[in-house]
Structure 1
Amino acid sequence: MIRLAAPGDEAALTGFLSRHLETSMFLYGNLESQGLAASTHPHATRFVLDEQDGVVRAVLGLSNNGFLMCQAPQLAPVQARAMARLLGGRTAAGMTGDDAQVATFLEAVMPAPQLDTVEPLFTLDLCRLPPVAATIRPPDRSELALLTGWFAAYMQETQTGVTSGAAERARDAIQGGPVRLLLRDGQPVAMAGINAAAGDAVQVGGVYTPPQLRGQGFAGQVVAALLAERRRAGATRALLFAASDAAARAYLRIGFARIGRYRMALWRPPAVIGEAAG
């Protein structure tokens, strides 16, 4: 049976998503932080369940900020179309998830995206994190212009957002968002953040070093220091996906191991769910 999730389904959803943690962090994190009650929060998510004999076998989510997410092992086109119908012609600005699952969903349900990238997925058991001597801290109000520029450059370089949103991301970081700056001689030289947290796992995102400062190991250092901080707070596992070969090498150097392929698609403007090309 395919249906919309409702309050009371939290335990079943958590049990299913936790078994597929590596490619479910956005789904799982949104569920954990926002629950299933109606909300206007950007990360509040409408969940579609596919159940068999009362057991969840697939999940499709659409957040208020327009991102589709799926966890559907062995997803078939007919299953993707049936789940998408319950989203009622809503629009999506993007989709993330396991490479093969997202590819099936895109072909069955969506028009061609303007951006469609596949990146290597990495994991690290935080008990294996090497010793970290780097100094990091949250950004402060005096760094709004610096962070706005960094976020704009990051989004332009990775093609993962509209640069007009850089100032908002910078303000969120300064107001307590999970972003940390790496310091050298008292000056910020790189940044990294957490883009999802669920259970005892965290997912790293937004890693950026200005071009003129690259090649000095700053990306790996800021990620390692951020994860050391999260380990002290109770996290035991980290995940991330790499946007470049250089980033991948930095993550391998601090102990990450590649475990799969992660896909991201973006539509500009947002696309109607269910209007597959052709």
Structure 2
Amino acid sequence: MQYRKLHDADLDAANAFLAKHAATSMILRGNLRTAGIERRRHPLSGTYFGAVDAGGAIHAVMAQFGNGNVFVQSGDATQVPAGLVDAFRAEMPTPVAGVFGDADQAADILDQLGLSDADYAINASDILYGLDLCDLIVPVNARADDFQMVDAEKVERSTLLSWLRAYEIEALGAEDTPVLDSKIASRLVHALDARNMWALIVDGKPVSLSGFNAQMPDMVQVGPVWTPPESRSNGYARILVAKTLLAARARGVMRAILSTDSEAAAKAYEALGFTKIGRYRLALLKSPVKLAA
């Protein structure tokens, strides 16, 4: 088995491997589909490493993107090959800002990188949910004229920035700093360009936000989902997520996934038909850590 950096010639093999483990590989799959492996100047480009056998098949993947976040997929194994982690450390492009993936695999990466006791903004093993969209349970009032779904670009930019900042602070443990403002502004530009974020309008006022943070022709990953505190307990997020999934289903998407550690959010998603399929770890460091090769 070779443990090495991946190149454009490995794209088909990488896609074939990740497709077998789609629910915990959506960011990897979506970014590969959009930016490929060696398209370095694309905002979703990353540096990919793989466990590659003699026939060219891939059995594990690690990738780091421009924001410093590392994503891992090691198939059915709970641990990540040490040789793959060594290859990553040897050519790691930037300090590590976070680690994402199947809960056990991501925890193993943190241990192998010596980051188990690092200072985290959040290090959570969320419940991973899946839903075949043919089984989507649509809220009774989701199609009512009182609830309008619009592209996020039709909402005032200041409102979107405020909501996304609040989401990062509440859900991901981010600190409210100028660095966060810059991160949010960049994220919003990308979301608006990709047209993968929507708002729910009630009585002419935006009351909830939802989007897809990864998309494939057959599958989407839901997030972020945010309702400001003053508009909560009205079922707005559930209605909006249902509307986004109805629209996705209409264009051929067959499955959706998401993860959460919130009991309230879990109840809303389960009411839509989502069921538990595993656990997914989000480990975001308070400050990026530069590792020795």
Do both share a fold (TM > 0.5)?
yes
Cα deviations by residue, 1:124-172 (Å, 9 ceiling, x for unpaired) = 1111123441420112366111111111111110125454233444444
Helix, strand or coil at the partner of 2:8: coil
Task: State how far apart, in whole Å, the 2-side matches of 1:274 and 1:198 are.
Answer: 35
Cα drift, residue 57 of structure 1: 0.9
Tell me the CA shift for residue 273 of structure 1: 4.0
User: C-alpha distance in 2, partners of 1:155/1:47?
Assistant: 26
Q: CA deviation at 1:82?
A: 2.4
Output one character per residue of 1:224-278: Cα deviation in whole Å (capped at 9) or x when no partner. Answer: 1111111122211101011411001100000101101110111232112457xxx
Measured in 2, the distance between the counterparts of 1:242 and 1:69 equals 18
Contact 2:217 2:252 in 1 (8 A): no
Of the three residues 83, 86, 98, the one matched with 2:87 is: 83
* Residue 123 (structure 2) pairs with residue 116 (structure 1): yes
1:259 aligns with 2:285: no
Change (3 A) 1:274 1:231: farther
**Matches of 1:169 and 1:81, distance apart in 2:** 28
CA distance in 1, matches of 2:264, 2:164: 19
- Within the alignment, does 1:203 sit opposite 2:234 as a pair? no
Instruction: Note if contact 2:212-2:220 (Cα within 8 Å) is conserved in structure 1.
Output: yes
Which of 127, 135, 151 is 1:128 aligned to?
135
What's the CA shift for 1:198?
A: 2.5
Would you say the 8 A contact 1:3–1:50 is kept in 2? yes
* Contact preservation (8 Å) 1:116, 1:265: yes
Listed as ranges, the gaps of 5+ residues in structure 2 are none
- After TM superposition, the structure 1 = structure 2 runs for residues 98-109 of structure 1, keeping only pairs within 5 Å, are 98-109=102-113
**Deviation of residue 101 (structure 1)?**
0.1
Aligned mates of 2:252, 2:90 — CA distance in 1 = 37
Q: Does structure 1 retain, via aligned residues, the 8 Å contact 2:47–2:93?
A: no
Instruction: Decide whether the 8 Å contact of 2:5 with 2:87 is kept in 1.
Output: no
> Which runs of at least 4 in structure 1 moved beyond 6 Å after TM superposition?
none
2:214, 2:22 → 1: CA distance?
A: 11
Does 2:251 match 1:247? no
- Give SS of 2:158's match: helix
Q: Does residue 63 of structure 1 match 2:65?
A: yes
Counterpart CA distance in 1 for 2:93 and 2:157 is 38
What is the TM-score normalised by the length of structure 1? 0.91
Count of equivalent residues: 275
Distance in 2, matches of 1:153 and 1:84, equals 33
TM-score (norm 2): 0.87
The equivalent of 1:144 in structure 2 is: 157
Cα contact 1:77–1:104 (8 A) shared by 2: no
Q: CA deviation at 1:81?
A: 3.2
Counterpart Cα distance in 1 of 2:127 and 2:277: 8
Distance 1:113 1:264, change over 3 A: farther
Q: Is residue 247 of structure 2 the alignment partner of residue 229 of structure 1? A: yes
Residue matched to 2:166: 153
Contact 1:150–1:210 (8 Å) recurs in 2: yes
Gap change, CA 1:2 and 1:167, over 3 Å in 2: closer
Deviations 1:10-60 (Å, cap 9, x if unpaired)?
111111000000100111111111012232223101111102332211111
Instruction: Output aligned runs, 1:163-202, within 5 Å.
Output: 163-164=180-181, 165-202=183-220
- The letter of the residue matching 1:151 is L
Letter in 2 for 1:44: S
Checking the alignment, whether the CA contact within 8 Å between 1:77 and 1:108 is kept in structure 2 is no
Worse-matched range after superposition: 82-91 or 142-151 = 82-91
Check if 1:215 corresponds to 2:233: yes
Distance 2:214 2:109 in 1: 22
Does structure 2 retain, via aligned residues, the 8 Å contact 1:144–1:171?
no
* Identical-residue share of aligned pairs (%): 33
Contact kept, 8 Å, 1:29 with 1:197, in 2: the verdict is yes
How far 1:107 sits from its partner (Å)?
0.5
Deviation readout 1:83-131 (Å, 9 max, x if unpaired): 3234346312111100000000100114224131111100111111234
Which amino acid counterpart does residue 152 of structure 1 have in structure 2?
R
The 1:62/1:238 distance shift into structure 2, 3 A limit, reads: same
Matching residue of 2:45: 44
